[in-house]
Structure 1
Amino acid sequence: MTTTLSDTETRADERDHDRYSLSSSDGNTPLEHVDERDVREATICVVGLGYVGLPLAVGFAQSNYRVIGYDVDESTVEKLQNGVDTTGDLSSEAVADDDITYTTDDAEIAEADYVIIAVPTPIDDGDRPDLQYVESAAATVGSKLTVGTTVILESTVYPGTTRDVLVPELESASGLTAGEEFFVGYSPERATPGDSEHGLADVVKVVSGQNETILNDVATLYESVVDAGVHRAASIEVAEASKVVENTQRDLNIAFVNELSMALERMDVDSQAVLDAAGTKWNFHDYQPGLVGGHCIPVDPYFLAYRSAQEGFDPDLMRTGRKVNESVSNHVADLTIKALNQCHKTLRDSRVLVLGLSYKPDVGDIRSSKVADVVENLREYDVDIEGYDPHADHDAVSEVFDLHVQDDLSFDGIDAVIFATPHAEFESLELERMAAELGENPALVDVTGTFDEDAAHAAGFVYRRL
């Protein structure tokens, strides 16, 4: 029978010390070993070297830990072994730290005192949580698990996943018992790609463990690398829920201003002017309308809604917020069509340039970019579309967007510009120069409200924004 965490907490307190002794000569039990070990002497294995796992591995190595970085992707590991930052957020020197061993050999997991799992948790085509990577990682880790090891999940999951998914997989693969021969914790990632001011050390880390001893041990571990400190969650489920709640709250707030902008447009009222006016009140929250892409905000509400529905409560507000934000891509395409019509352009003869293809400024990640949906919607009108992004990989763009990407930015022959992602490289763009290069009756669809509307009109643009 699978051991649950509530069971192991009780049994850990009442355990027979001789029965669960470590194989070492000191005779300590695993839990006593946790009490006594010096985390500074620990070996840490990070499983999954993506935008969450790699900064973790580097952060621990920079704090003088011995770190094993494990990933199943041979190409990723080879690049990291050669000192190539695969995330774009770290320096080559940091990636090449001698204290990190990058490997695809799962046998090295057995050397770790702490194994931190940081693998993707996407949603499937039915907007349900897809935990296949967590399950696969748990099976791999479990097969190499040694007595006394603590396994910490960092992947975003719904409340109960550590208890109901991770632990059974680890126990099955290892033959060991959670809470007696190995231990588990959960600490949700708070990585922000492209944000140098909010890295691993700078953001309070939520930590949890299956009992007080493990909680304190995990907290001590993260306190050694997180300058901002840690927050000890009351339970693993609380920590799991906190992550999805963070991003669900943001999703709902953005959904409100997105819906507001659509409503005010039909009233012929400037939504940005409305937000500026409302923002003069001290307790008004500053959110801006826009496309909601990425790996967190468009995903996490589905995790919370899924788990809630399992308990018989369907959270309508969360689902409605998702529906509103998913509709913004259609709205941006509609604004573009209206702008082209106002410019007296024939749609099938029009050329549109999309500036910025990634999901957020100053990063190259396009995998969850909603700009792709804008492009797909415009194709229904036979509009000729091309793109430019100084950060995104051209081969990846061609595969995901099926789009011609300019090597060098050119407005020649373009009828409309969609300003989708405001990379820093675009800050030097001048409206008058853009309009002059575009030609007669150009259109500008400013998704992020970057440009001043009056200045755009003065430069000769037909201007639209959310």
Structure 2
Amino acid sequence: MLTEPGKRIAVIGLGYVGLPLAVAFSKKYEVLGFDINPVRVRELKENYDGTREVSEEILENVANLRFSDSEQDLQECNIFIVTVPTPVDHYKKPNLVPLLNASAMIGKALKKGDFVIYESTVYPGCTEDDCVPVLVRESGLTFNVDFFCGYSPERINPGDKVNTLTKIKKVTSGSTPEAARIIDELYGSVIDAGTYLASSIKVAEASKAIENAQRDVNISFVNELALIFDRMDIDTTEVLEAAATKWNFLKYKPGLVGGHCIGVDPYYLAYKAESLGYHPQVILSGRRVNDTMGIFVANKLVKLMIRKGHKIEGSRVLILGITFKENCPDIRNTRVTDVYRELKDFGMQVDVHDPWADPAQVAREYNIELTDNLLDKYEAVLVTVAHDAFQTLDFKKFTNDNSVIFDLKSILPKEMVDSRL
């Protein structure tokens, strides 16, 4: 087994999860931050983090951390932590290609006594049933004899500067009791909030899946309430504020549900359940509600515009926000694009403004050109993301007296808007 002086860690995937993790471990260990994207690696070497999770000052002063896109450098390491994306495909099925490719790459560098720890979100059983066989095939080593595995689900909340990596309790697990102990101690050495050692890798995998499935179902409930109250001409925000006066009411808010976790993880759990012959009812019904909210929002805006006498075709609409959440540049699985496409189908001219998003990335991922010019007049403005910057905008500069303002996030004064979600 490994001893403390021998730990040489490689973090595979330097996104929202991997980079903060690499920085945290580098305070006590030698760390290699690895990514297959040479542009990302070059930027990090220049102390620039496009995710804005790690500041330039921290990158300039971090010790024991180097970045690389060369697989050869992995040969020097003996602990491999995998933080690559695990998205779903167009059919809402798990896309394990990045995970399995990373496993194959690690397998080529794997040596006796090494550890491979997965943090990427998966369904229960994925680590041992899908990833380990790839490691064995590529390395020629024997699992739980020559090398060991663990699973420690990531709990990164992009854009959150309060609940950061070291302040969130870390679930850990290992493929043998001894491996679990070593992995738990490894994370415990850098996580201030402490760790929770799960009884098995499958339990740790399942814990991650249900964390976000639970949030998804709760949000789908309030989204469905918004659909119902809209027909009753009741302000959903006011209803939630009234209900929240009870001590045990959970104050979830309606909205567009995207991102790398809540809008994805339930599909992983559902996929595994269906493979075992069980068709989940609650989980998938919640997903259906949340996946249709973009169409509802677009149609609601059109109705508001018609009431004010606007001609729909050719009207100019400004969408404020395209990231999946406030005050962060993360555009993964954003559902704002659903609203954008639906409004375009109505024949509208739609502009999107977001001071947090990377225009090049938005254009590449969604074929949408962001605008910084807010001097033109719009017939309608749709606030889709609760960026702090939007609360100080002078709406009079880009609206008329008859313009429609639809605030999905309830961040503007009620008297200023025509409707809230």
Fold shared per TM-score above 0.5: yes
The question of whether the paired residues in 2 share the 8 Å contact of 1:259 and 1:324 is answered with: yes
Matched, 1:452 2:413: yes
Equivalent residue in structure 2 for 1:75, among 39, 48, 71:
39
AA of the residue aligned to 1:73:
N
The Cα of 1:98 is off from its aligned counterpart by: 4.0
The question of whether the paired residues in 2 share the 8 Å contact of 1:359 and 1:365 is answered with: yes
Equivalent residue in structure 2 for 1:190, among 148, 152, 155:
155
Q: Deviations over 1:203-233 (max 9, x none)?
A: 0000000111111100100011100000000
Which residue of the partner structure matches residue 106 of structure 2?
Answer: 141
Q: Deviations over 1:279-336 (max 9, x none)?
A: 1111111100000010100100000000011111110111110000011100110111
SS at structure 1 position matched to 2:9: strand
State the alpha-carbon separation in 2 of the partners of residues 402 and 137 from structure 1.
28
397-406 vs 280-289, greater mean Cα deviation: 397-406
Which residue of the partner structure matches residue 208 of structure 2?
Answer: 243
SS at structure 1 position matched to 2:81: strand
Q: Which one has a bigger Cα radius of gyration? A: 1
The Cα of 1:269 is off from its aligned counterpart by: 2.0
Query: In the superposition, relative to structure 1, how do residues 125 and 209 fare at CA in structure 2: closer, same or farther (>3 Å)?
Result: same
How many residue pairs get matched? 420
Matched, 1:260 2:225: yes
Matched, 1:464 2:408: no
Matched, 1:126 2:91: yes
Which residue of the partner structure matches residue 11 of structure 1?
Answer: none
Which structure 2 segments of 5+ residues have no match? Answer: none
State the alpha-carbon separation in 2 of the partners of residues 108 and 94 from structure 1.
23
State the alpha-carbon separation in 1 of the partners of residues 306 and 221 from structure 2.
28
Which residue of the partner structure matches residue 233 of structure 1?
Answer: 198
191-200 vs 220-229, greater mean Cα deviation: 191-200
Which residue of the partner structure matches residue 440 of structure 1?
Answer: 401
State the alpha-carbon separation in 2 of the partners of residues 109 and 364 from structure 1.
30
AA of the residue aligned to 2:230:
E
Which residue of the partner structure matches residue 258 of structure 2?
Answer: 293
Which structure 1 segments of 5+ residues have no match? Answer: 1-32
The Cα of 1:41 is off from its aligned counterpart by: 4.8
State the alpha-carbon separation in 2 of the partners of residues 117 and 402 from structure 1.
30
Query: In the superposition, relative to structure 1, how do residues 91 and 315 fare at CA in structure 2: closer, same or farther (>3 Å)?
Result: same
Which residue of the partner structure matches residue 20 of structure 1?
Answer: none
Query: In the superposition, relative to structure 1, how do residues 48 and 281 fare at CA in structure 2: closer, same or farther (>3 Å)?
Result: same
State the alpha-carbon separation in 1 of the partners of residues 177 and 261 from structure 2.
29
Aligned-residue identity in percent:
40
- Structure 2 length-normalised TM: 0.97
Q: Deviations over 1:345-401 (max 9, x none)?
A: 111131101111111111112231111110000011101110111111122233444
State the alpha-carbon separation in 1 of the partners of residues 82 and 195 from structure 2.
19
SS at structure 2 position matched to 1:427: helix
- Structure 1 length-normalised TM: 0.87
The question of whether the paired residues in 2 share the 8 Å contact of 1:354 and 1:385 is answered with: yes
AA of the residue aligned to 1:65:
Y
1:55-454 superposed matches below 5 A? 55-61=20-26, 63-96=27-60, 97-410=62-375, 412-429=376-393, 433-435=394-396, 437-453=398-414
The question of whether the paired residues in 2 share the 8 Å contact of 1:435 and 1:442 is answered with: no
AA of the residue aligned to 1:173:
E
AA of the residue aligned to 2:231:
R
State the alpha-carbon separation in 2 of the partners of residues 305 and 377 from structure 1.
28
Query: In the superposition, relative to structure 1, how do residues 409 and 64 fare at CA in structure 2: closer, same or farther (>3 Å)?
Result: farther
Q: Deviations over 1:183-222 (max 9, x none)?
A: 1000000111100111110100000001111111001000
91-100 vs 249-258, greater mean Cα deviation: 91-100
Kindly report the root-mean-square deviation, in angstroms, between the aligned alpha carbons of the 2 structures. 1.4
The question of whether the paired residues in 1 share the 8 Å contact of 2:391 and 2:412 is answered with: no
State the alpha-carbon separation in 2 of the partners of residues 255 and 223 from structure 1.
35
SS at structure 2 position matched to 1:348: coil
State the alpha-carbon separation in 1 of the partners of residues 395 and 222 from structure 2.
29
